[in-house]
Amino acid sequence: MTIRQVPGPDAAFLYGERPEWHFHVSALTIVDASESERFSADEVIDQLRRRLHKLPQFRWKLMEAPLGMRLERPIWVDDPDFDLSNHVHRVGVPSPGDDHALGTLVGRLVSFKIDRSRPLWEIWIIEGLEGGRVGLLAKIHHSMIDGQSGAEMATLLYDLERDPEPLPEPPPYDAEPAPAITQRLVLGGFNAAAWPLRASKMGLQMARQSVTMARHALGDAPPAQPLQGPRTPLNGKLTPDRSFAKGAVSLSDAKKVKDAFEVKLNDVILAISATALRNYLATVDSVPENPLVAQVPVSLRDEANKSDIGTKVANMFCSLATDIDDPVERLRAIHESSQRGKVMRQELTDQQAVNFTETTPPALIAIAARAWSMAELDARTPPIFNLIISNVAGPPFDLFCAGAKIEAMYPMGPLLAGTGVNFTVVSSADRLDFGVMACPSLVPDPWAIAEEFGPALEVLLEAADESA
Show which residues are catalytic.
142
Cβ contacts of residue 329 below 8 Å, gap of 6+?
321
Residue 426: strand pairing partners: 392, 433
Euclidean distance between CA atoms 251 and 256, whole angstroms:
9
